[in-house]
Structure 1
Amino acid sequence: MKKYYIYLIIALFPAIVLGQAKKEKQTTEGNHLIDSITPIIPVSKQSLLRDVDVIFNSRMAYNSYFTDGNHDLSHFNVDQLRFEVKGKIHDKVYFRFRNRYTREPVPGNLDNISRAVDLAFVRVDLSKRTNISFGKLCADWGGYEFDFNPIDILTYNDIIEYADNFLVGAGVSHTLENGNHTFTFQALNSRTKTYQEQYGATAPPNITPSEYPLALVGNWRGKFFGGKFETTYSYSFFNEAQGAHMNYIALGNKFTSNKLVIYYDFQYSNEGLDRLGIVSNIISSQYPYAAQKAVYLENWVRAEYLVNPKINLLLTVMNSNHSWKDNPDPNAKDKLSTSYGLIPTIQYMPFKDFNIRFYLAYTARKYDYTSYAENAFGVKDYTTGLLAFGFVAPLLVL
């Protein structure tokens, strides 16, 4: 129960900080009241709050779900609710904490922290352009799909959807003097769970788990042509097991022209042991173990056009290809399936000085299996749909 009291105190923190204890006492000479106002937070400590933000990252909607064109269910849903506190506690020390209330708070048995906690780290500025970070970090993968605040992505493409995105470790970042290029290097746990918990009975008998389950991530962020073209490129190496590693490349590109912004991400993941599990799920009717040499290749495009200060139009198009290069069938092609996604969205922003956006969107997904996969593993093509009307808001309460 203690943790729930802590959450309650945090949620009421702004009111406590801004409130004042007002004591009224009656004088002995009459019925006049004298107001004595005493700050609850000492004045000497209040300066710390100037650099601290308290945010409720929220997305709530009325959702209607469809499968193969047939309506399944409609209901109100809290799609995202992430509580965040961040800011400076010293001239050179910054902290950030974000907790997700839409995920079970189950601690990972490798990193010993709840999977509901996205971020819990401290950053120390070594200089104006160099810093180091320790704690549960956001893996600095390239690509703008992952760079967005999660409340702004209605549906993720397959790699980000199924990956462990927040991992415990350390990182160092350096920005060049001109401010246009930043380089980051991170050493992280390769997952939140132990090998045994991650794969369980599906662990291939010929694979030995690594004694050093680490991930190395390198990222470059660049700006060109006065910021009209930006990049976030990364390469990651995951030491998953002996002889079974993962190589991940993400190339994010951003083009800005007046009211139009276009993002394009290319992602490639070559997994010696199938971490995402999509290929393993396809072949599960014939192979009881996690697939080896699974390959995922994706494209993601998002266009935003600001019609006027209150109306924003968005369109997301994406696809993901799933291949298995370790198939023992000599006549089989590597590719097993492709998923497609289309998300047209309209946003309405009623307030000029307050960031809340009402939206209407439809997410159309199609899952297309090759004829080989259908015949060999019994899978079948299908489509899904999600019609959503709701609001998005990073509610800054302090």
Structure 2
Amino acid sequence: MASAQEAEVQEEEIIYFEEEEKESKNALANVFKRRHNGYILMQSSFNVNNGPGFAQGSNFSINQLRVQLTGEILPGLEYDVRQRLNSNSVAEEIDNTSLATDWAYLTYTFKNNVFITFGKQWAAYGGYEFDATPTDIYEYSQILNWKEAFLTGVNVGYRWQAQEVNFQVTNAHTESIESFYGELPEDFIAAENPMNYAFNWNGDLLKGLFSTRWSYAVTNEGKEEYTKYLALGTKFNQPKWQITVDYHNSKEDIDRTGFATSIVRDMNDGEHAALRDTHYKSTLAKIDVQPHKGWNLFYQYSHEDVFAHDTSLGENAGWLETANRHYFGVEYQPFEEQPLKLFCTYWSNTEKYNDYFETSQINNNRMMIGFQYKWQFY
């Protein structure tokens, strides 16, 4: 029979091993938390709308709702998945992912700072508006509202100091050419392997005084028919204010952006072949000012022109539309340690059309009061 002293020693050993096991589990949990993260990204607002294009005069809305999972599987091998919770979840024909899947990819980084990304990913286009997290954008410019932002393929990149370059090859679309364009010109011959090729430079110059998001992309849509898209985003950084300028220029043998075709179809009861020889030009300038800790004031102006030289438009070919947009906003982050941001914004839009269209000018505006939040749930 064990003595009282032996029993006490055994009990101490049990307690010791239980505490050791608990510490081991906590250590594993901390390692998991460091290597794997989950986020909910949300933007919600009350909107006061005025002018055509809105479903009703005022409304509450969940503008952005996404879940994101990131982490490191092995040293150098990382994953990133982001899914919209308020979007269409039907799988597309080409890449078998839905529009709700922003991205789902693996990245492996070699010791020489070369990295390879494979899967559905953010298209390697330039511009700071395009590069921003969607919850930080309250209203996209016209050209970006129509751009396919997420495509499936492979990206090879290289980082050194504060610079990064990327070369990306992806599917041209998530769906088939026929589904994407709808009615096509009778003589259009689809490319056998429609692909999008993009070169991107994310730079940091003069110790962060200037930074860049520049890109040039070529998409093979049809036989000898291409889209050539230049996007230049440049930012001037100061401690309490920043100026951003984005420039987009997209020349399209077949209307990849799709806005020009859309407004022409609206004039023809939805019946018109996708336009040829379209051209989009967009310039956006934004200034952000931080007058006090936690506060940000911004003003943004964009000017965009749409051209279509398709022969089917006859004498109306050429300039189709110009959009001028003004954007004012106030943002406030009440808690330094929490990524909660309150905002109030006012957006004004004027669109002018050529004589081909029934309406020569459209004016609309919107006021938004709401919040955005990035909640880390593990």
Q: Does 1:369 align with 2:350?
A: no
Residue by residue, what CA displacement relative to the aligned partner does 1:255-314 show, whole Å, maximum 9, x if unpaired?
Answer: 011200111000011111112221112323367111001100001112110111122101
Deviation for aligned residue 1:343: 1.2
The answer to whether the 8 Å contact 2:284/2:303 transfers is yes
TM-score normalised to the size of structure 2? 0.89
Q: Which amino acid aligns with 1:223?
A: D
Deviation for aligned residue 1:48: 2.8
Q: How has the CA–CA distance of structure 1 residues 69 and 165 changed in structure 2, closer, same or farther, with 3 Å as cutoff?
A: closer
The answer to whether the 8 Å contact 1:259/1:307 transfers is yes
Deviation for aligned residue 1:182: 1.3
Moved more, 263-272 or 65-74: 65-74
Who is 1:195 aligned against? 177
Who is 2:207 aligned against? 226
For the residue of structure 2 that corresponds to 1:196, the secondary structure is helix
Q: Which runs of 5+ in 2 are unaligned?
A: 1-14
Who is 2:162 aligned against? 180
Deviation for aligned residue 1:188: 0.3
Who is 1:9 aligned against? none
Q: Which amino acid aligns with 1:218?
A: F
CA distance in 2, matches of 1:389, 1:330: 45
CA distance in 2, matches of 1:69, 1:78: 18
The answer to whether the 8 Å contact 2:240/2:289 transfers is yes
Q: Does 1:391 align with 2:371?
A: yes
Report 1:88-167 matches (<5 A): 88-167=72-151
CA distance in 1, matches of 2:205, 2:77: 30
CA distance in 2, matches of 1:282, 1:368: 12
Deviation for aligned residue 1:205: 1.0
Q: Which amino acid aligns with 2:297?
A: L
1:276 to 257, 260, 276: 257
Q: Which amino acid aligns with 2:69?
A: V
The answer to whether the 8 Å contact 2:310/2:317 transfers is no
Moved more, 82-91 or 324-333: 324-333
Deviation for aligned residue 1:381: 1.2
4+ runs deviating over 6 angstroms: 36-39, 68-71
The answer to whether the 8 Å contact 1:48/1:88 transfers is no
Who is 1:382 aligned against? 362
For the residue of structure 2 that corresponds to 1:282, the secondary structure is helix
Q: How has the CA–CA distance of structure 1 residues 117 and 71 changed in structure 2, closer, same or farther, with 3 Å as cutoff?
A: closer
Q: Which amino acid aligns with 1:206?
A: D
Q: How has the CA–CA distance of structure 1 residues 120 and 173 changed in structure 2, closer, same or farther, with 3 Å as cutoff?
A: same
Q: How has the CA–CA distance of structure 1 residues 333 and 194 changed in structure 2, closer, same or farther, with 3 Å as cutoff?
A: closer
Deviation for aligned residue 1:72: 3.8
Report 1:1-398 matches (<5 A): 45-46=28-29, 47-67=31-51, 72-176=56-160, 179-200=161-182, 202-284=183-265, 285=267, 288-328=272-312, 331-332=315-316, 334-370=318-354, 374=355, 376-398=356-378
Deviation for aligned residue 1:329: 6.0
For the residue of structure 1 that corresponds to 2:207, the secondary structure is helix
CA distance in 1, matches of 2:311, 2:361: 21
Moved more, 47-56 or 304-313: 47-56
Q: Which amino acid aligns with 2:130?
A: F
Deviation for aligned residue 1:137: 0.6
Residue by residue, what CA displacement relative to the aligned partner does 1:105-157 show, whole Å, maximum 9, x if unpaired?
Answer: 12111110111000100000122511000000100101101111000011111
CA distance in 1, matches of 2:55, 2:274: 33
Count of aligned residue pairs for this structure pair = 356
Q: Which runs of 5+ in 1 are unaligned?
A: 1-33
Deviation for aligned residue 1:68: 6.2
The answer to whether the 8 Å contact 2:210/2:234 transfers is yes
For the residue of structure 2 that corresponds to 1:209, the secondary structure is coil
CA distance in 2, matches of 1:94, 1:222: 23
TM-score normalised to the size of structure 1? 0.84
For the residue of structure 2 that corresponds to 1:385, the secondary structure is strand
CA distance in 1, matches of 2:185, 2:319: 21
Q: Which amino acid aligns with 2:165?
A: F
Note the aligned Cα RMSD (angstroms): 2.2
Residue by residue, what CA displacement relative to the aligned partner does 1:4-47 show, whole Å, maximum 9, x if unpaired?
Answer: xxxxxxxxxxxxxxxxxxxxxxxxxxxxxx9x8987x9568532
CA distance in 2, matches of 1:312, 1:161: 24
The answer to whether the 8 Å contact 2:123/2:151 transfers is yes
Who is 1:27 aligned against? none
